[in-house]
Amino acid sequence: MAAPKPSETSSTREIEDLVRLSFFSNVGKSIAEAATLNETLRAIMRQIGEIFAPTHWSLLLRNARSGELRFAVVVGSGVERLRGMVLSRGTGVAGWVAERGEPLIVEDVTRDARFTDQMDHLTGFTTKSIIAVPLKHRNRVFGVIELINKIDGTHFTPLELKLLTTIAEFGAIAVSKAYYLKALHMLATSDELTGLNNRRSFLGFLEKEIERYKRSHQPFCVMMVDLDGFKKINDAHGHRAGDEILKSTGEMLKSSVRRADIVGRYGGDEFMVLMPGATEQTAQKAKERIEQHVETYNQSAAVRISLSIGIREADGEHIDDLLDQVDSSMYREKARRMERNVTDVADNIESALQEERPEEA
């Protein structure tokens, strides 16, 4: 048989390079089109399943502080229980890859001391062959992709390891992109101190809820919460103590309302809660829970706090003036609270003295 002419060999290689380029372009496009972190991780795992046909495959995320690996995505029959499980630092093949940042192929786990059957005992599965590759950002490992066994019973090959490494590189870029987009969104919509929705973000949710109400008349409530005497707290105890109280107040609000409710920091010492589908009765129960949390907090707090809370249920007549309505409700409560505090001398004289500035004593 005559040897291929140089031109034929060159042409064949060019065709092969074009095929590879087209293949990776499709893989990269599928992964890059994902908009969120979860979508990106799922897209990576879907591509891996289609290309390699493993019996089981997992994506583990690495804890930057402890070095532990957590099974974030698991695919394959009988391994669902692995989701959320944690491997201690350096454990098994995945741990080895995470620590060294290098891809690894183990064709026969019975001959490799780096393999641990810890997960096999948990799932009742028998691992025979593994390939694992790191996910990196700026040379720091943040995850590991691990493939277990092949459906056809053969071992993984060095070529497949190289292919998986390339896909992992695509995936790491896409995960980093999704992460930064999410981080930028949080910076734009979250209050830096408390982590709650900021004023702009909260008003966006409220606007959508008002428009929904105009279409469907489904009830909702808005709650305004104000920290009483916050300036005095800052003056007497310093801004650091004031910041801690703002954060504690935000945490109390979040733990007192429903998961579907939206809590925001509206201003310096003002908070808002949007309660979709809630009636005033539902909001009153949430208010009672908030007051109970404040009472518990004050029992051990170095600086006691007091909250004034106003509630307004949406109605067709005043829907566009809703914030003014809830603001008036909150200040009426504040006035009643101030009047009560003035008259209840026996209960409040000690705290009143503590709040006075030294020059007023």
Distance CA(95)–CA(88), nearest Å, equals 8
pLDDT at residue 180, as a whole number = 79
pLDDT at 169 over 70: yes
pLDDT at residue 25, as a whole number = 63
Q: What percent of the chain has pLDDT over 70?
A: 78
pLDDT at 13 over 60: no
Distance CA(177)–CA(32), nearest Å, equals 9
Q: Which amino acid is at 348?
A: N
Q: What are 137-148's pLDDT values in tens digits?
A: 888 999 999 999
Averaged pLDDT score across all residues of the chain: 81
Mean of the pLDDT values across residues 103-112? 92
Q: Helix or strand or coil: residue 307?
A: strand
Q: Kindly list the structural domains of the chain, giving each domain's residue range(s) and its CATH number in brackets, ordered by start.
A: 13-187 (3.30.450.40), 199-360 (3.30.70.270)
Structure tokens given for 129: 């062959």
Q: What percent of the chain has pLDDT over 90?
A: 33
Q: What are 199-209's pLDDT values in tens digits?
A: 888 888 888 88
Distance CA(164)–CA(167), nearest Å, equals 5
Distance CA(311)–CA(319), nearest Å, equals 14
pLDDT at 31 over 50: yes
Q: What are 142-166's pLDDT values in tens digits?
A: 999 999 998 888 888 888 888 888 8
Please enumerate in sequence order all residues whose Cβ is within 8 A of that of 246, keeping only pairs 6 or more positions apart, or say none. Answer: 193, 194, 227, 265, 269
Cβ neighbourhood burial of 156 (10 Å; 0-12, 13-18, 19+): buried
Residues 197/208, Cβ–Cβ less than 8 Å: no
The pair phi, psi for residue 125, each rounded to 5°, is -95, 155
pLDDT at 134 over 60: yes
- 188 versus 317: the higher-pLDDT residue is 188
Mean of the pLDDT values across residues 40-66? 87
Half-sphere exposure (Cβ direction) of 223: Cα atoms closer than 13 Å: 29
Please enumerate in sequence order all residues whose Cβ is within 8 A of that of 212, keeping only pairs 6 or more positions apart, or say none. Answer: 218
Please enumerate in sequence order all residues whose Cβ is within 8 A of that of 279, keeping only pairs 6 or more positions apart, or say none. Answer: 219, 221, 313
pLDDT at residue 265, as a whole number = 92
Nearest one of 190, 225, 223, 215 to 204, comparing CA atoms? 190
Note the Cα 318 to chain centre separation in Å: 36
**Given the DSSP bridges, would you call strands 54-62 and 69-75 parallel, antiparallel or unpaired?**
antiparallel
The rounded radius of gyration (Å) of the Cα atoms in the chain is 30
Q: How would residue 23 be classed by pLDDT, with cut points 50, 70 and 90?
A: low
Q: How far apart are the first and last CA of the chain?
A: 109
Nearest one of 62, 61, 60 to 79, comparing CA atoms? 60
Please enumerate in sequence order all residues whose Cβ is within 8 A of that of 149, keeping only pairs 6 or more positions apart, or say none. Answer: 54, 55, 56, 127, 128, 129
The tokens 């009742």 sit on which residue? 124
Instruction: Count the Cβ atoms, other than its own, within 10 Å of residue 52.
Output: 17
How far is CA 329 from each of CA 134, 213, 357, rounded to the nearest angstrom?
Answer: 56, 21, 30
pLDDT at residue 133, as a whole number = 95
**Torsion angle defined by CA atoms of residues 316, 320, 322 and 324, in that order, rounded to the nearest 10 degrees:** -140
Residues 237/303, Cβ–Cβ less than 8 Å: yes
Q: What is the pTM of this model?
A: 0.58
pLDDT at residue 91, as a whole number = 94
Q: What are 279-322's pLDDT values in tens digits?
A: 999 999 999 999 999 999 999 988 899 888 888 888 765 666 66
Distance CA(355)–CA(338), nearest Å, equals 14
- 310 versus 130: the higher-pLDDT residue is 130
Tell me which of 9-18, 198-207, 231-240, 252-261 is least confident: 9-18
pLDDT at 123 over 90: no
